Structure 1
Amino acid sequence: MWEEKAVIDGPYHFDLALERLARDPLNIVDKEKRLIRVPIYKEKPEVADVQAVGTTEQPAFMIRGSNIQTKQQVMDRIASIFQWNLPLVEIHRHFSTTALNDIFEIHFGTPIVLEFSLYPALIRPIIHQQVNMSFAISLTEQFVKTFGFEIEGVPFFPMPETAAKMNAGELRNLRFSQRKAEYIIDLSKMIASGELDLAELAEKPDEEVVKELVKIRGIGPWTAQSFLLFGLGRKNLFPMADIGLQNAIKKLYQLDRKPTYEEMENYSKDWHPYLSYASFYLWRSIE
């Protein structure tokens, strides 16, 4: 066992982040202890505990793991997942003179927490396509608990190699549509065979990532942008096709209808180069 303290620059509101993460039954969260158990995906998967011991203005964390040999690797991964190197103070300052100021004040210091691995970051938005949020969460939970695995009680998504060997009927039994089942299996086969290298894809600019992903059956711009935002932590994403984002803008500007793409583009001009945080905080405003 090992334990290491990490001190980062504020603001960073870990409690608000945990509140959102706790809504997903796959996340093992203890809000009272300010702790989350994180699945670490690597050749030999393991679990790390991340516990807040500081404040929003002076954030500090205790990270605990089981294998001293992989300590630095785990620490680096945790820092990446929780976006500890991104200066939220600059982002809040940027939005203080925009129409989003009030929303940013309410959710002050809330970070975007990334998916725990790149494969789930692509599989999850496919599962979430064209279904309501509660059903999407239930489908994802069933998928993971049926075909994934657990370490110390922490659920892990199945590896691509496992999903590649499924047949559509197995997913249909979980109430997946035939088409969605095929998308997941075919994508998993591409990743397992090396035809699609997610680590290599992660090094490319946003436009190239989207261009490559939308060639794949079952992946459209919305799914590709979700992967960029929650998988790779890219800062300037504004998925205008997202219904939640449309509803948040409708509420913000007190429209009697959903905004057009042209209106959304006009509203968002002042939000560059942090459109991802504009999107995220707008989602937060209607959750």
Structure 2
Amino acid sequence: MQTIYIQGPYNFDLVLSRLALDPLHNLHKEERWVKVPLRIKNKHIVVKVQATGTTDNPTFYLEVDEIDSSSLHNLIYKEISRIFRWDVSLLAIHEHFQKTKLKSLFDEHYGTPIVLDFHPYNSLIKCIIHQQLNLKFAFTLTQRFVTTYGFQKGGVWFYPLPETVAKLTVAELRELQFSTRKAEYIIDLSKEIINGHLDIDSLYEKSDEQIMEELIRLRGIGQWTIQNVLLFGLGRNNLFPIADIGIQNAIKKLLELEQKPSKEEMEIMMPEWQPYLSYASLYLWRSME
């Protein structure tokens, strides 16, 4: 077991409440832990992350299931830190938004970080599944997919590998209530990866613009999907999905507008939120959950 100390604020209880929306996550809100599935050097590792401190003085225990994980210690910590964004100063972000129209949201959800999907491939698959579905059924369909074609270890579900998904048929996914197009999209995406036409790991090092150019060519992946992957798959700090209805409704509610803001109105608001547009997005979504 390893004890981790990070700079506050960091509200892990709000992290768990958001992670709890997804039935695939293995967590316990009262005991303040979540089990994270990692794939590192072809090993499947389960890491239990448990909060032991407070929002202002956050500390965590990391418990790893692998007996031989000592050789991977640094890689495990690096990946957990990436997922939970322990390298980001939420205090600086909170102070930035004290001078903006979003001040009340940042006070209410003080110390809420952006927590990433456990792997960018998972993020891509989940975003494709979630397209144009209500949130409840989107989570249900994702759960069916993972529990049918992924696998479980230590009570934690791992998404299926691209090699597995590439071999599926549209008919098999249709049995889970996928639309024909969504089934084609995730199979085609997985084939692109195993054929070497898309290197998921290389996305970490590329700019937002390079990633947009690379992913937009793939069937079923549009601007909304790419923005969500950049935000929740790769942790980019300055993204604002301006076409997202949830964000539009949140601004309407917060500013007590008669109707949802137009694209032009939102573009006028955005400069004062930079360079933390991703956090503006998250806190607006949180206000509607």
Task: Give the TM-score normalised by structure 2.
Answer: 0.97
Paired amino acid for 1:5: T
Match of 2:200 among 198, 201, 207: 198
Say which SS state the counterpart of residue 61 (structure 2) adopts.
strand
Structure 1 counterpart of 2:104, one-letter code: D
SS at match of 1:210: helix
What is the SS of the residue equivalent to 1:61?
Answer: strand
Alignment of 1:43-58 (within 5 A): 43-58=42-57
Structure 2: unaligned runs, 5 residues or longer? none
Displacement after TM superposition at 1:242 (Å): 1.0
Partner of 1:272: 274
- 1:87 maps to which residue? 89
State the partner residue of 1:128.
130
Q: 1:164 aligns with which of 163, 166, 186?
A: 166
* Alpha-carbon distance, 1:11 to partner: 0.3
Task: Read off the aligned partner of 2:44 and give its amino acid letter.
Answer: P
Q: Deviations 1:68-111 (Å, cap 9, x if unpaired)?
A: 22222111110110000100000000000100000000000011
- What is the rounded CA distance, in whole Å, between the counterparts of 2:182 and 2:252 in structure 1? 30
**Aligned pair 1:242/2:244, yes or no?**
yes
Amino acid aligned to 1:130: Q
Task: Provide the C-alpha distance between the structure 2 equivalents of 1:250 and 1:166, rounded to a whole number of angstroms.
Answer: 43
**2 CA distance for matches of 1:103 and 1:109?**
11
Structure 1 segment 50-129 matched on structure 2, within 5 A: 50-65=49-64, 66=66, 67-129=69-131
In 2, Cα distance between equivalents of 1:147 and 1:259:
41
- Is residue 257 from structure 1 mapped to residue 259 from structure 2 by the alignment? yes
What residue is the counterpart of 1:13 in the other structure?
Answer: 11
Alignment-derived partner of residue 230 in structure 2: 228
* Higher mean displacement: 187-196 or 252-261: 252-261
Q: Does 1:153 align with 2:155?
A: yes
Aligned-partner Cα distance in 1 for 2:215–2:48? 33
Once the two structures are superposed, what CA deviation does each residue of 1:1-60 show, in whole Å capped at 9, x if it has no partner? xx1110000000001101111121100011111000000123111100000011100000
Quote the offset at 1:253 in angstroms.
Answer: 1.8
Q: For the residues of structure 2 that align with 1:186 and 1:170, how far apart are their CA atoms?
A: 14
Which secondary structure state, in structure 1, belongs to the residue aligned with residue 265 of structure 2? Answer: helix
CA–CA distance in structure 1, aligned partners of residues 224 and 213 of structure 2: 12
* C-alpha contact 1:39 1:47 (8 A) present in aligned 2: yes
Once the two structures are aligned, what percentage of the paired residues are identical?
A: 54
The one-letter amino acid of 1:60's match is T
Q: Which runs of 4+ in 1 moved over 6 A?
A: none
Matched, 1:141 2:140: no
Amino acid at match of 2:9: P
The whole-number CA distance in structure 1 between the counterparts of 2:183 and 2:93 is 39
CA displacement at 1:190 relative to structure 2: 0.5
Counterpart CA distance in 1 for 2:7 and 2:109 is 17
Q: Shift in Å at residue 211 of structure 1?
A: 1.6
* Contact kept? 1:92, 1:104, Cα under 8 Å: yes
The letter for the 1-side match of 2:187 is I
Match of 1:33 among 18, 31, 34: 31
TM-score norm. by structure 1 comes to 0.98
